[in-house]
Structure 1
Amino acid sequence: MASKLSRRSFLRAAAAMGGVGILAACGGAPAQQGGTGGEQPAAEAPAQGGQAVTEITFWWWDAAGQIWADEYSKVNPQVKVTFVNTPFADAHDKLLTSFAAGSGAPDVASIEIGRIGGFTARGGLADLKAPPFDGGQFEKDMVTYKWIQGSTEDGRLVAMPWDIGPAGVWYRVDYFEELGLPTEPEEIEELISHTHGRTWDDFFAFAKRVSDASGGKTKLFADAGTDIYGATYRQQGEGYQQGNKILIEEKATRPFQLAAQARQQELDANIAWWGAEWQTGLSEKAFAGMVIAAWMQGGLTRDQPDSVGKWRVVHAPEGNYNWGGSFVAIPEQSQNKEAAWEFVKWACCSAEGQNVMFKQTGVMPAYKPAWEDPLYDAPVDFFGGQRTYRIWTEIADNIPAILRTPNDLQLDDIVGAELTKVLQEGKDPVQAAKDAEAEALNRIRDVTA
């Protein structure tokens, strides 16, 4: 099975699955409502009560963007938010094209975490700390690693944190029960979670226990590439470059080794994520869990409705991590910066704006005061009454990060190609990391080892 951990490949595959909310936090659901393509609508809006109405355009790649547009009209009827559901690639590529052309950008743009490095390192986006904005006041309220990722090396804030992807180990309580395994989160936490000092070796020992209990028919997780490499790499903070220094050997060697170990010991189901085979594998008990982020709730609710109420979540071995997330930015081209800023503040920097989206999509806010809402301590039906939202907030507040760079997508592809060789061809993980770093140094200018 293909195990190349390319963010672009993931987004394309996920887009093919369709739906609203599954990848709102991490990538491209296809265009559905609220506009077509990525072209900026005419900035015309009717008067309200004899007063002129300001119209601003908002690009995002998920139809759920209409939620914000509709709700903001109730809060501020003097501003009309025209939501344009823009395909994922267009949301970023057309934005860059508009910068080069000098026109065509929206008033408010969404930027996904895998693309943020290409924007923080160039011009085109307004500094939200500078007048007429006052974005610096929200730094203490945001998840630290998201604030860092939306900032430039010289301290400008060009992308306001929006949502996050705190991650952990998910498991099907009904599958565990059938296999005679412990089922309560407290029991599983004690066996595999870093909150009890557990390591990935402990996780693998439990994975073997799952496999043995089923006679090898059910594995704990689907794919060593996504579940194991994806988690262990991100536990170090996302990114293979800091400044001009390439960190592939430092950050990929052990994750390569752990993923290879899982595959060699036949601990994964060897089923690639996101496609039909993965969906079938979950339904047919080929695997009983996953190591993934909070946003997966939306997709499972839609695609695996029979599983609702049967999932539980515990902390991952060795540490917390994040996968996915988005930002909101105001292009310098905007002719309505003050109105755009008021919308951004409501959407990203208020509990009301963040939670109106969270309640309908499961997109987890980066704005920490939103977590004070009682809903974060309430039992969650999807997780069988487990108070999972509070777990996500605890994880989100303890995650490392580094600045993103314009080379992130290229580095992801280079590392992903070597990961495929490790898992499919049995390539030595240490050599694979060395080769990936050498390839990066050869292909990318002005970087060092």
Structure 2
Amino acid sequence: MRSNARTRMFPPRRHVHRSLAVGLTAVLATGLLASCSSDDDGEGGGGGDEQITLNVGLFGSIQFEAAELYAEYEELHPNINIEQTSVQENQDYITQLRNRLTQNSGLADIQAIEVGNIAEMAGDLSPRWIDFNEYDVDLSHFQEWKVAQATDPEGRVIGLGYDIGPMAICYRTDLFEEAGLPTDREELAELWDGSWENYLDVGDDFLAGTSSDAAFVDSAGSVFNAVVYGYDERFYNDAGELVYEESQAVQDAWDISVRAANTEGMTARLDQFTQDWDRAFANGDFATIACPAWMLSYIEEKAGPEGAGTWDVAAAPQASNWGGAFVGVPASAEHVDEAVELAAWLTAPEQQVKLFTRTNVFPSSAEAAADSEVVSVTSEYFNGAPTGQIFSDAAGEIPAAVIGPRDQTIQEGLTDGLVQIEQQGVSPDEAWDNTMSQLENALAE
């Protein structure tokens, strides 16, 4: 299934809640653009004799290299050499990227942009990026809301999406069996279908039945992310105003996550993407985790060969999207034409199909998501789960969301507030007040 709803963004710069100015409207580029001259015959901007090195700057573990896409492109374009650099933490990466864009120096030919930062990049920093509309890049195959996220108020498209993060539930079959719960993925999906409260109800049953020390879920923060990213309006409204204090999405996600944090044994009280969290996958410290498609490879790496067949995947209680990224070409790139050609090729439907079948990176291309090769994917590691079908179904239900320039700051602040409850014993009311105060200060910077 596909979502035809457009991402709702907001109008040009104006005064908003807390006197913050957020100048961002997303307008989809009109018309169908001709396909980029990056055909598999190797002809086009990179097909000359001049030897060129294209530098690609990424964050985290973006999988272009692991999917062997660089090697394939270099074979098609013998004069092109691709060199990749990666900063592990996006927080460090985006700080570096902001500084280099402001200074207009030190930039790679292609730079990745996390979805939480795309509104900022399509705002005041938009002139620092090339407009893909001007290079005959085919945008028609992408999810419409994905294109809208990277579109600035003047209609310039500054990023090409290469993935989205439709959500599922990854779970340990051995721990469920030990607790006397069903292990069949379809039966479990029915038990928690319809709400994340139902998911925690299954957690109560797990805690009542287990004799192990395993928690039901890794952290309250992961529950928060799973819930909040299922709403179309979260931290900003259509007018570009900050609404996280009154947002139904935030209130629902906070209340459900507080329930998890305050239930003894429900969470393993872990900080995600830390060494303790990594080790917990292999140690069986928790039985479930809300897992976007890209997390499957992470779990497989951290749980190791011993975890094969003990993990499975079921549909999530409600559709949501956590994550997703873009690639853009800075206007000051050394090889703009060749970089545009590579960026368009990496995000073309054919390559997005390869990314998912090889590395679990789910396509932001609607055409690729509907491809039979994607839909038919199963995972041997995850007990033969039909991951292609599960994530394709989830992707078709993802709501088009309002994205604001400080989304990432707000999301991190709210999950940090839950840590106060989960790990420090702070009351929910006090943690909320602390979080609101800290966010006000952070957003004023």
> 1:323 Cα shift?
1.3
Deviation at 1:331, TM superposition (A): 0.8
1:9 corresponding residue in structure 2: none
Structure 2 SS opposite 1:274: coil
Deviation at 1:101, TM superposition (A): 2.7
- Give me the whole-angstrom Cα distance separating, in 2, the residues matched to 1:362 and 1:82: 23
Count of residues paired in the alignment: 387
Q: Give the C-alpha shift of residue 277 in structure 1.
A: 3.6
Amino acid corresponding to residue 68 of structure 1 in structure 2:
L
Distance 1:386 1:420, change over 3 A: closer
Deviations 1:1-55 (A, max 9, x none): xxxxxxxxxxxxxxxxxxxxxxxxxxxxxxxxxxxxxxxxxxxxxxx99933344
CA contact (8 A) 1:148 1:402 kept: no
Correspondence for 1:187? 187
Query: For structure 1, which segment, 200-209 or 74-83, has the greater mean C-alpha deviation from structure 2 after superposition?
Result: 74-83
**Within 2, Cα distance between the matches of 1:427 and 1:394?**
38
- Change in Cα spacing, 1:203 to 1:50, as seen in structure 2 (3 Å) is closer
Range 359-368 or range 405-414, more displaced? 405-414
Structure 2 residue aligned with 1:410: 409
Q: CA deviation at 1:63?
A: 7.6
Residue 257 (structure 1) aligns with: 255
Quote the offset at 1:124 in angstroms: 0.6
Where in structure 2 are the equivalents of 1:12-411 lying within 5 Å? Answer: 51-61=49-59, 62=61, 64-66=63-65, 67-86=68-87, 88=89, 91-121=93-123, 122=125, 123-129=127-133, 131=134, 133-135=135-137, 137-139=138-140, 141-194=141-194, 199-215=195-211, 217-226=213-222, 228-237=223-232, 240-242=235-237, 243-249=239-245, 250=247, 251-266=249-264, 268-272=266-270, 273-304=272-303, 305-317=305-317, 319-351=318-350, 353-371=351-369, 372-411=371-410
Shift of 1:222: 2.1
Q: What amino acid sits opposite 1:347 in the alignment?
A: L
CA contact (8 A) 2:165 2:322 kept: yes
Q: Secondary structure at the match of 2:162?
A: strand
Cα contact 2:167–2:291 (8 A) shared by 1: yes
Query: Is the 8 Å Cα contact of residues 224 and 263 (structure 1) preserved in structure 2?
Result: yes
In the other structure, the counterpart of 1:37 is none
Distance 1:403 1:237, change over 3 A: closer
Q: Per-residue deviation at 1:320?
A: 0.7
Worse-superposed segment, 161-170 or 48-57: 48-57
The one-letter code matched in structure 1 to 2:392 is T
Normalised TM-score (structure 2):
0.77
1:167 CA displacement: 1.2
* Compared CA separation, residues 105 and 231, structure 1 to 2 (3 A): same
Q: Per-residue deviation at 1:313?
A: 1.8
How far is the alpha carbon of 1:357 from its aligned partner?
3.2
TM-score normalised to the size of structure 1? 0.77
Query: Is contact 1:91–1:111 with CA below 8 Å preserved after alignment?
Result: no
Distance 2:441 2:221 in 1: 25
In structure 2, C-alpha distance between the alignment counterparts of 1:425 and 1:86, rounded to whole Å:
33
Shift of residue 65 of structure 1?
A: 4.1
Given that residues 148 and 403 in structure 1 are in contact (C-alpha distance below 8 angstroms), is that contact kept between their aligned partners in structure 2? no
Q: Which amino acid aligns with 1:205?
A: D
State the shift of 1:125 in Å: 0.8
Which letter does structure 1 place at the counterpart of 2:227?
A: T
Write the distance in 1 (CA, Å) between the matches of 2:438 and 2:165: 30
Contact 1:253 1:433 (C-alpha < 8 Å) held by counterparts: no
User: How far 1:168 sits from its partner (Å)?
Assistant: 1.6
1:303 deviates by 2.0
* Secondary structure, counterpart of 2:216 in structure 1: coil
Structure 1 stretch displaced more, 160-169 or 76-85 = 76-85
Q: Deviations over 1:207-246 (max 9, x none)?
A: 11111111473332122222x2121111114851244411
8 Å CA contact 1:248, 1:437 repeated in 2: no
SS of 1:364 mapped into structure 2: coil
User: Does the CA contact (< 8 Å) of 1:234 and 1:322 recur in 2?
Assistant: yes
- The whole-number CA distance in structure 2 between the counterparts of 1:150 and 1:109 is 14
Q: 1:342 to 1:439 in 2, by over 3 A?
A: same
Distance in 2, Cα, partners of 1:365 & 1:50: 30
What do residues 61-90 of structure 1 show as CA deviations (whole Å, max 9, x unaligned)? 348443332111122324333333455456
For 1:383 and 1:415, locate their aligned partners in 2 and report how far apart those are by CA, in whole Å. Answer: 31
The answer (yes or no) to whether the contact 2:235–2:404 under 8 Å persists in 1 is no
Question: What is the CA-CA distance between 1:188 and the residue it aligns to?
Answer: 0.7
Contact 2:164 2:364 (8 Å CA) reproduced:
yes
* Cα deviation, residue 392, structure 1: 0.8
Does the aligned pair in 2 maintain the 1:231–1:321 contact within 8 Å?
Answer: yes
Contact 2:228 2:250 (8 Å CA) reproduced: yes
Change (3 A) 1:63 1:366: closer
Structure 2: which 5+ runs fail to align? 1-45
Aligned 8 A contact 1:221 1:288 in 2: yes
SS in 2 for 1:360: helix
Report the Cα offset of residue 426 of structure 1: 4.2
Residue identity (%):
23
CA–CA distance in 2 between the matches of 1:266 and 1:210?
12
Q: CA deviation at 1:307?
A: 1.3
Instruction: Assess, with a 3 A threshold, how the Cα gap between structure 1 residues 235 and 49 changes in structure 2: closer, same or farther.
Output: closer
